[in-house]
Amino acid sequence: MQLPEITNETMKAGLSTTKAYCVLVLKKTEKFVSPAVDAIVWEHGRRNFALRAAGLMPMVMPVPNGPSIAGFCVFDVPEDEVRRLMDEDPGVLAGIFSYEIYSARSFPGDRLPG
């Protein structure tokens, strides 16, 4: 596949449209033992649905069967709000998940192919 040519002007114009986001890496702790945690993970998922519906977390990507990483997500709120939201997460409260937050930039409106 031949990639399109991208000029400096194209890059400058595109980069000027980016927006700040927070990317979260959700990690399994040593307390994550299936099936004992399945009910907690289900409620964690329910909360993710609510965060998506509220527009706070426009992208969530569970990593099934990952040995240490449980998933990734993008938040459209400042880092302190992400931390507050995650500290209230059922899985974090139960000690089966930990997380790391990273500042990132992306293009508003980007989406995964359908």
40-73 pLDDT, tens per residue?
999 999 999 999 999 999 999 999 888 999 999 9
Contact indicator for 61, 71 with CB cutoff of 8 Å:
yes
pLDDT reported for residue 1: 95
The position carrying tokens 């609510």 is 50
Q: What are the domain boundaries of the chain?
A: 19-106
**What is the reported pLDDT for 66?**
87
Supply the DSSP symbol for 108: T
CATH (residue range 19-106): 3.30.70.1060
> Residue 42: in which H helix or E strand, if any?
helix 38-53
SS3 state of residue 14: helix
| pLDDT band at residue 110 using 50, 70 and 90 as cut-offs | very high
As to burial, measured by CB atoms within 10 angstroms (0-12 exposed, 13-18 middle, 19+ buried), residue 27 is middle
Is the predicted pLDDT of residue 5 greater than 90, yes or no? Answer: yes
Q: Is the Cβ–Cβ distance between 19 and 105 less than 8 Å?
A: yes
In this prediction, residue 7 carries a pLDDT of 98
- Model pLDDT for residues 9-31, shown as the tens digit of each residue: 999 999 999 999 999 999 999 99
DSSP E strands, the chain: 19-28, 59-62, 69-75, 97-106
Contact call for residues 98 and 113 (beta carbons, < 8 A): no
